[in-house]
Each structure stands twice: as C-alpha cells, then as structure tokens.
Amino acid sequence: MNKAMAWHEQLDIVARELSWPEAPRWHDGALYFSDCHHFRVMRVRPGEAPEKVADLPGRPSGMGFFPDGRLLVAGALDRKLWWVAPGRVELAADLSAHATGLLNDMIVDANGRAWVGDTGFDLAAGGRECPGTLLSWSPQEGVRRAAECVRFPNGMAITPDGKTLFLAETFASAISAFDIASDGTLSNRRIHAELEGRPDGMCLDDTGGLWVALLWNQAFHRIDTGGRITHRLEFEHERCISCVIGADTRQTLFLGTSAIVDDGKVKSRGEGFIKRIPAPFAGSGIP
C-alpha cells in the first residue's frame, strides 16, 4: 500500500486550461493532443508551456503520425481527415459519406493506414444509441469499412508486430481485439476484456498490458493479458479521457482528464488537464 501511494504521489500536471484532451501522441520530443472543445491541436515539450499547433474548426478528435512524419487529425463534426502542421491544415479525405455519426478516436499504423471510429450517432446531441463502424483510410487504398456493428468505437492500440488491433467499445464496456492481415483486413473479432466501466482512450505497454481510461468511473485501469486489473489511478472529481506512454524513453504515462462541473442539475466538463506519472512498464506498439 505504501508503495502504491508513493507512486500515485509522483503525479504532476504538464498542461492545464484545456477543455477535453483527447488522443495524446508522443512524437519527436513532444506530446501532441486534441483540445477538442477549444477546437485546436496542441503540443507540449518537456519543461515548456503548451502551445497551439493549429485551429481545426471541425473539432479535432483522434490523431496519428504517418511514417513520413505528417500528422493526420480526425474532425469529429465535419467527418473529415486533415493534415495538420504548425499554423495550417489541409484536407486529406472527406469521410462524411461513410459515417453516420461523428468521427472519434484514431490511430495510424506503421504502414501509413489510419483507423478511425464512426460513433454511429451523436451522443452529445442526445441521439439514440445505434451501432458505429470502424473505418480505415490511406492515400493509396481510400476508405474501407473495416468492422461493422461496433458499439461506439473509441480508443485503439496496435501491437508492436502490427498483427493485432485492440478497440475500446464504449457502450459495450469492453475491449475487442482483431487480427490484422497484411492487406489491412480485420478478422477473428473477439472480446479481449470486459470492463467495470465504459472505456475511452487506451495504450499498450511492453508486457502486453493495456492502460484504459474509464470515462464515467473517474479512473484509469491497467488490464493484463488475462483481463485482470493490476493497477488503478482514480480521480474523484475528473472524467478520465485518454492516455499514452510517451517521452523519448517511453517510460512516462500521460493522462488526459477533465474536471466535473456539477451545478445541481447536470455534470459537465470543466477544466481539462494533461498529467504525467512514471509508467510501471515501458510503452510499446501504437500509440
């Protein structure tokens, strides 16, 4: 217990005054992330203040870096993919004809293929839950429907060998796993872990464990390969949104949270934070 408390006490804040920090990605000495409801892509370097990379009017959500270093960001509201560089954005693909909900979390694999979730409905607008889709896109292949009937696709992780994709299905309270073929086809869909709450973002460590943000449980859980909880980080008054194991040595766990504002009628998002803590195991795979 004392060791667990000492580890928890090493938590500190690296960015504040955010809205809803999604999809943290470590790249080239900096942590990039979507500050969703401020409609901007951000980055923060160790020891420096956060800075805006670019505005994205379509509301940024998932993101990932292509092998050539370009940053691709999903626009939730306009359902488009955007190339983002400091001070400018350029349209990569329009997925609006393929999505029935909003574009959500996204990652990019080592082959330059983006995997992005279509929620199937607009949760914030009070839409009735209906199945979403996992889409894939690359400049060479265009758009594919990679997996159907997904219950609110959210965070993803890909193993170091590129052969397994983990997908958080928020409204199923579960993590699904798929085999990835060399041509990007998904197969052998299965339940990897059933969870105590509804998952959002997640990341993978080098022992096969998954860190998962449990949005409405105010907690991050580490799930081992057998689906057991080995570590917990709990935040009584904050939504737990996203996570990644980054820094140049991949030994730092970065966490995206947002404070809960309770006006007696509704609990909504408040100030968002990026926090960090030493990771129990090094990061691995993507993101």
The CATH number linked to 55 is 2.120.10.30
Does the residue 217 lie in any domain?
yes
30 Cβ partners below 8 Å, 6+ apart? 43, 44, 45
Domain count along the chain: 1
Residue 197 belongs to a domain: yes
Indicate whether 10 belongs to any domain.
yes
Looking at the domain assignment, is residue 272 inside a domain?
yes
Any idea which residue has 């956060």 for tokens? Answer: 50
Is pLDDT of 262 > 90?
Answer: no
Q: What was the pLDDT predicted at 1?
A: 37
Characterize the bridge pairing of strands 21-27 and 199-204.
unpaired
- On the question of pLDDT at 272 being above 80, the answer is yes
Its domain, for residue 129, covers 2-278
pLDDT of 248: 93
Nearest to 273 by CA among 258, 262, 261: 258
**What mean pLDDT comes out for the span 196-202?**
96
Q: What is the number of alpha carbons within 13 Å of residue 226 lying toward its C-beta?
A: 3
66-103: pLDDT as tens digits: 999 999 999 999 999 999 999 999 999 999 999 999 99
204/195 Cα distance (integer angstroms): 16
Torsion of CA 50, 9, 257, 283, to 10 degrees: 80
- Over the stretch 105-154, which tens digit does the pLDDT of each residue have? 999 999 999 999 999 977 666 667 779 999 999 999 999 999 999 999 99
Q: How far apart are CA 222 and CA 225, in angstroms?
A: 10
Mean pLDDT score of the chain: 93
Give the burial string for 167-182 (b: 16+ CB within 10 Å, else e): bbbbbbbbbbbbebee
pLDDT the model gives residue 4:
47
Residue 226 counted as domain residue? yes
Render pLDDT for 140-176 as a digit per residue (tens, 0 to 9). 999 999 999 999 999 999 999 999 999 999 999 999 9
Q: Is the pLDDT of residue 263 over 80?
A: no
| Residue 286 domain-assigned (yes or no) | no
Rg (CA), the chain: 17
Residue 283: inside a domain, yes or no? no
Q: Is the pLDDT of residue 2 over 90?
A: no
Q: How many CB atoms lie within 10 A of CB 164?
A: 18
Which range has the worst mean pLDDT, 169-173, 225-229, 262-266, 275-279? 262-266
Contact 227, 196 (CB under 8 A): no
Taking residues 59-72, report their average pLDDT: 98
Q: Is residue 285 part of a domain?
A: no
Among 4-13, 45-54, 79-88, 232-241, the minimum mean pLDDT is found in 4-13
pLDDT classification of 260: cutoffs 50, 70, 90: confident
Burial bucket for residue 111 (CB in 10 Å: 0-12, 13-18, 19+): middle
Q: Is 282 exposed, middle or buried (0-12, 13-18, 19+ CB in 10 A)?
A: middle
How far, in Å, are 62, 215, 287 from residue 201 at the CA level? 10, 9, 10
User: Does the pLDDT at position 241 exceed 60?
Assistant: yes
In this predicted structure, what is the pLDDT of residue 117? 98
